[in-house]
Amino acid sequence: MKRGFHGMVARLKVTLWSLIVPPTVWAVHFLFSYLWAAIHCAKVGGFPRLPILYAVGTVAALAIILAAGIVAHLQSRVPGDPAPHEESTDSDRIRFLAFSTVLLAALSFVGVVFTAAPVLFLTDCR
Amino acid sequence: MSLHAQDDPALRAAQEERLRAVWKAPQGIFLRWTDCNNNRVGAWYTLTAFGFMLFAGVLALIMRTQLAVPDNDLVSANSFNQLFTLHGSMMMFLFAVPMFEAVSIILLPQLLGARDLPFPRLSAFGYWSFLIGGIFVGGSIFFNAAPDGGWFMYPPLTTRTDLSGLGADIWMLGLSFIEVSSVAAAVELIVGVLKCRPPGMRLNLMPLYAWYILVVAVMILFAFPPLIAGDILFEMERLLNWPFFDVTRGGDPLLWQHLFWIFGHPEVYIVFLPSIALFAMMIPTFAQRHLLGYPWIVLAAVGTAFLSFGLWVHHMFATGLPKISLAFFSAASEAVAIPTGIQIFAFIATLWAGKVKWSTPLLYASGSLAIFVIGGLTGVMVAIAPFDWQAHDTYFVVAHLHYVLIGGTLLPLFGGLYYYWPLITGKKLSDKLGRTAFWMLFVGANLTFFPMHFSGLYGMPRRVFTYPSELGIDYLNLASTMGAYLFALGTLVVCIDLARSPWRPKAVRNPWHAGTLEWLAHPDDEDWGIRSVPLIESRYPIWDQKDFVKKVDEGRFFLPDAEEGRRETIVTTVLDARPLYVVRLGTPSWVPMLTAIALGSVFILTTYHLYWWSLAGAVATLGFVLYWLWTGTAEIPEKPSKPIGHGIELPLYVSGSAAPGWWAMFITMMADATAFSGLVFGYYFFWTVHPEFPPSGPGMDGPGTFWPMVSLGVALLSWGATVGARGTNRRGGVGVARALLVVGIVASLAGIWTGLQGPLTTGLDPELHSYPAIVWTLVIWTTAHAGVGAIMQAYALARSIAGRMTPTHDADIRNITVYQHFMALTAIVTYATIGLFPGVA
């Protein structure tokens, strides 16, 4: 199973598009948060005390970021050239993009947690 | 061409002679302005932006003089309004953003080992647009007609024609024109970074400056268009009385604030990141080692770019939005401190790990970091909503933003000036004058802006033209004024240093012993950019690759010749920089300048309500653009391929996603789609602010469902015909492809008519209420795009008939298909919104 998973990860490409998956998820979650609050406050007149939709959206965002981070982490360990991995080779380019994706996933994870935190504390639209 | 051949000095001399002839700059008093070489256009651009900076600085000095003592009457309140509005607007739109573009146009080809950027004429067009728009906006103050509503131009003060004069139109239309040139520069820089890197320079070896520029240019694509959308609504209100921001007729001034700050906050990072990028080039040089944490810097650049789009409401904390919304933006505002901090720590770590050479540029870099960090810390303070409510619209905010912009933009640029002056002119600036100026600037900035924190907290509001002595802030203001004069003197010392440069001797090549590619530049530089395009194996090739400089100079790398007498550079793949093809570059021409003049006339004449003349300007612009495209793009080469050395043969024509032109279209349409989404945001924004939406009543019931759905069908027909024409053309069915293009043209033109039928037949009156106004705006946007689509389809048809587009040379039709994809998306969103959403709501 593990080999299968690793094999699947290895076949995924590392590109500029995959690099921006985690921050894009942050951005979508941020927009979702803003719209969720704006529409509830303007159209419903207040948001629910147990915001299930919001919780599901947030957990989904965190899960995607986590998955992107784990995949990138595995990709960043592509064996190949010696450290410090600054050569003009396929493996160093993959390692670089994958490691940068891991870092962005970490930042995006924190970003989503930051964004979601106020919903735990604020309970009305004032 | 083997390595062996380049051993022959006679061959090398012959190659150099050919390169020199091809890249020869146009001579003569008039002709020299037709140049489009990045070195020259970049230099004009930089000097112009620097000039606007000095002008805007003088405006600030007049303001500080007025505020030196209480109850001063040096300038009137009205003049003071114009002064601060123009100071802010010019510093942002005519200095900070254009300066980054200017510096990048000079540096980027050198950093990437390219002969020039992919679209030299586009750079020239951007420059002329900038110059015309800049003079138009800046010059208005001499006619007492400058904008006076503050640099963010909040309605209703600025949209009511009885409260604001021509200045508001000058701001909107003049700066919209400059935004066009910014988007043009963004296209140029993105395609440059992604497609014009030298072979071997994979993404992981790209100079960090290029990473930052890529990120910032992408930010421009998503940040500027919402402002363009806002400008459109704003001018519709001022010129046509369509009430987008008028509360009495269903408008809302907050919509402008949203659109402005969706632009305005990323803007801060758009001007900050390129300056930090200069640090990323300087610091390894003066630490004499590789920069530590390369991927961390990339994280910081990309992370900041994303987060910066989640900050805009922190400028609107005091507008009464729900606290929960404020909290989201407050959270993102705090989060952005993380990547910003990471890059500063990476710089400090690099200096710590290396052997530091204390040079003048490094002095500027470290001084500006200190100032920036103070601005960053007050930024963290005002990002907390309750504190912001106290400090909002006071001098505390003025202090904060100037610390950020002086530490994050201005002083780094001065550092970059001292660092890169030898690269551009071949001469070093004076260390003595540079250091003297630095201390004057450093002390001056702190003396000006630090007291403002206190004058703000004591209650001095922004933008007041005077203050009473009873407020107890006399000495704080006097200190600020003295600091401003000291700062101005420091700038004067820099100017003196620059002015003395022509009389100084040439410096040695690479005087700072830097390791990056741009320092290949020779003090007695040639116009060809780089002698041969190198193979890159390291982030610091001059340090790490054996005999690197010698090999480049002797033409031992790629493309050492210009056999066919054409300006050329190599296009490579995005990820791994594998050579793809040789692109022929634009040569000096009047067309970019004439296009800029024609387009400028559209904006300027509209300001004075001369609509027929402005229409004539628009027709002229279209004519120039078509001439430019017809004569200068997608040319079928005289032979399919050419050798670039080392046994590599590259094609001279590619189409589709391998070609720079395709990328330029794609990127432009991303910007276009973003502007459109700003308008769509407006529609749904009105939905959230009105209990009943769409409103009912005469002139407001529409546009129905029938015509929008017909229009959608017609738009999709036009799209399908174009996609079909692309496919059949490639398979050799030229006749069928032409017929399909005719179908496309007819469908596009029909789309204009059907699109307008919805609001016309239902009698929607755009002056009545914001709902009909926004529906009309969406329809006009979409039908105008259909019209442009028809012109493009006709262009492709004409190219095919003229034999300039064939089944194997199909760049034109592939590029217009990209447009049609976006056009179809626009039609779907518009017609689904206006036709179906009222039923759902």
Q: pLDDT tens across B734-750, in order?
A: 999 999 999 999 999 99
Give the mean model confidence (pLDDT) for residues B493-510. 93
Percent of chain B with pLDDT over 90: 86
Q: Which residues contact A56 (CB under 8 A, 6 or more apart)?
A: none
CATH code, B691: 1.20.120.80
Mind giving me the DSSP string for B483-542? HHHHHHHHHHHHHHHHHHGGGSPPPPSSTT---SGGGG--SS--TTS-SSBPPP-SSSHH
Return the H-helix or E-strand segment holding B644.
Answer: strand B641-645
As to burial, measured by CB atoms within 10 angstroms (0-12 exposed, 13-18 middle, 19+ buried), residue B524 is exposed
Contacts of B327 in chain A (CB under 8 A): 117-118, 121-122
**Cβ <8 Å between A88 and B537:** yes
Contact A99 B325 (CB under 8 A): no
Residues 6+ apart with CB under 8 A from B84: B59, B63, B150, B151, B463
* Same domain, residue pair B447 and B540: no
Choice between A11 and B331, residue whose per-residue pLDDT is larger: B331
Banded pLDDT at B1 (limits 50, 70, 90) = very low
Please report the pLDDT score of residue B246 as a whole number. Answer: 93
- State the smallest CA–CA distance between residue B59 and chain A in angstroms: 39
- In the predicted model, is pLDDT for residue A26 greater than 80? yes
Same domain flag for B531 and B500: no
Write the burial class of residue B632 (CB in 10 Å: 0-12 exposed, 13-18 middle, 19+ buried).
Answer: middle
- Say how many residues make up chain B: 841
Query: What is the model's pLDDT at position A5?
Result: 67
Containing structural domain, residue A46: 2-121
Shared domain for B595 and B743, answered yes or no, is no
| A92/B310 CB distance under 8 A | no
Say if residues B740 and B731 touch (Cβ distance below 8 Å): no
Q: What is the pLDDT of residue A1?
A: 42
Check pLDDT > 60 for residue B349: yes
Q: Which residues of B touch A111 (CB under 8 A)?
A: 307, 310, 332, 335
Say yes or no for a CB contact (<8 Å) between A104 and B327: no
For residue range B685-729, list pLDDT tens digits in order: 999 888 888 898 888 888 999 999 999 999 999 999 999 999 999
Answer yes or no: do B485 and B527 share one domain: no
Encode pLDDT of B565-579 as tens digits. Answer: 999 999 999 999 999
B344 part of a folded domain: no
Decide if B365 contacts B279 (C-beta within 8 A): yes
CA distance B707 to A19: 42
Bridge-based pairing state of the strands B568-572 and B579-584: antiparallel
Average pLDDT of chain B?
A: 93
pLDDT band at B2 (very low <50, low <70, confident <90, very high): very low
Report if residue A96 sits inside a domain. Answer: yes
Whether residue B462 contacts residue B67, with contact meaning beta carbons closer than 8 Å, is answered with no
Q: Which CB contacts under 8 angstroms, 24+ apart, belong to B376-382?
A: B376/B337, B376/B340, B376/B404, B378/B403, B378/B453, B379/B333, B379/B337, B379/B404, B380/B333, B380/B334, B380/B337, B382/B314
* Total domains present in chain B: 3
Interchain pair B538, A107: CB under 8 A: no
Q: Which amino acid is at B840?
A: V
CA distance B782 to chain A (A): 25
Q: Is the residue at A126 inside a domain?
A: no
Which residue matches tokens 């053309």?
Answer: B729
How close B166 gets to chain A, by Cα (Å)?
36
* Alpha carbon of residue B755 to chain centroid: 32
Q: Is the pLDDT of residue A4 over 80?
A: no
In this structure, the answer to whether residues B518 and B646 fall within a common structural domain is yes
- Taking the C-alpha atoms of residue B625 and residue B614, their distance in angstroms, rounded to an integer, is 16
Hey, what are B299's tokens? 């994280």
Rounded distance between C-alpha atoms, residue B584 and residue B574, angstroms: 19
Alpha carbon distance B73, B71 (integer Å): 7
In a domain, A53, yes or no: yes
The CA R_g of chain A, rounded to the nearest whole Å, is: 19
Which residue from A121, A120, A119 is spatially nearest to A37, judged by alpha carbons? A119
Do B595 and B537 share a domain, yes or no? Answer: yes
Q: Domain check: are B515 and B603 in the same one?
A: yes
Instruction: Decide if A16 and B203 are in contact by the 8 Å CB cutoff.
Output: yes
Which of A45-59, A93-107, B287-301, B445-459 is predicted least confidently?
Answer: A45-59
* Closest by Cβ to A126, choosing from B201, B323, B332: B323
Query: What mean pLDDT comes out for the span B242-253?
Result: 94
For residue B834, the model assigns a pLDDT of: 95
Interacting residues of B91 by C-beta distance below 8 A, sequence separation 6+: B53, B56, B405
Q: What is the mean pLDDT of residues B551-573?
A: 91
| CA–CA distance, B204 with A94 (Å, rounded to integer) | 8
Q: Which of A87, A95, A125 sits opposite B324 (nearest CB)?
A: A125
| Residue B641 bridge partners (DSSP) | B651
Domain end (from B454, B480, B507):
B507
> If 0-12 CB within 10 Å is exposed, 13-18 middle and 19+ buried, where does residue A83 land?
exposed
Using a 10 angstrom Cβ sphere, with 0-12 exposed, 13-18 middle and 19 or more buried, the burial of residue B499 is exposed
Q: Do residues B405 and B546 both lie within one domain?
A: no
What is the pTM (predicted TM-score) of this model?
0.94
Instruction: Please state the domain count of chain A.
Output: 1
Chain A residues near any Cβ of chain B (below 8 Å): 15-16, 19-20, 23-24, 26-27, 30, 33-34, 37-39, 41-43, 47, 85-88, 90, 92-93, 95-97, 99-100, 103-104, 107-108, 110-111, 114-115, 117-119, 121-122, 125-126
pLDDT tens per residue, range A44-53: 877 777 788 8
Co-location of B492 and B401 in the same domain: yes
Q: How large is the C-alpha radius of gyration of chain B?
A: 27
CB contact under 8 A, A41 and B322: yes
- Is B728 inside a domain boundary? yes
Enclosing H/E stretch for B35: none
Residue A76 domain flag: yes
pLDDT digits (tens, 9 = 90+) for B112-132: 999 999 999 999 999 999 999
Is B586 a member of any domain?
yes
Q: Are residues B535 and B630 in the same domain?
A: yes
- Nearest alpha-carbon partner for A43 in B599, B840, B160: B840
Decide if B170 is inside a domain: no
Domain range spanning residue B703?
668-840
- Predicted local distance difference test score (pLDDT) of residue B164: 85
Q: Is residue B316 part of a domain?
A: no
Are the CB atoms for B625 and B595 separated by under 8 Å? yes
Rounded-to-integer distance, Cα B15 and Cα B6, Å: 10
- Look at the block and give the residue holding tokens 């559209």: B602
Residue B356: which residues within 8 A CB-CB, separation 6 or more?
Answer: B286, B287, B362
Is B434 part of a structural domain of the chain?
yes
| Mean pLDDT score, B225-235 | 94
Chain B: residue whose CA lies nearest to A36: B325
Task: Tell me the mean pLDDT in the region B582-596.
Answer: 94
Q: Is residue B605 part of a domain?
A: yes
The phi and psi torsions of B571 (rounded to 5 degrees) equal -105, 135
Res A119: pLDDT: 86
The residue from B459, B480, B507 where one domain ends is B507
- Cα separation of B768 and B369, whole Å? 52
Phi, psi of A76 (to 5 degrees): -75, -5
Is there a contact between A96 and B203 if contact means CB atoms under 8 Å apart? Answer: yes
Nearest to A86 among B201, B334, B539 (CB): B539
For B641: left if phi > 0, alpha if psi spans -120 to 50, otherwise beta; the answer is: beta
User: Does the beta carbon of B693 lie under 8 angstroms from any beta carbon of chain A?
Assistant: no
Residue of A nearest to B298 (CA): A100
Do residue B792 and residue B755 come from a single domain?
yes
The answer to whether B558 and B88 have CB atoms below 8 angstroms apart is no
* Interface confidence: ipTM more than 0.85: yes
In terms of domains, do B519 and B487 share one?
no
pLDDT band at A7 (very low <50, low <70, confident <90, very high): low
Q: What tokens were used for A49?
A: 């005390």
Residue A60 in domain: yes
Domain finish residue from B651, B677, B710: B651
Distance CA B171, CA B607 (A): 9
Closest CB from B298, B310, B574 relative to A30: B310
**How many alpha carbons fall within 13 Å on the CB side of residue B776?**
26
Using an 8 Å CB-CB cutoff, list chain B residues near A88: 200-202, 204-205, 536-538
CA distance B584 to B596: 23
pLDDT at A3: 57
Taking the C-alpha atoms of residue B520 and residue B554, their distance in angstroms, rounded to an integer, is 12
At A124 the pLDDT is: 79
DSSP state of B571: E
Query: Is residue A17 a part of any domain in this protein?
Result: yes
Distance from C-alpha of B389 to C-alpha of B385, rounded to nearest angstrom: 6
Judge whether B732 lies within some domain: yes
> Smallest CA–CA separation between B319 and chain A, in Å?
12
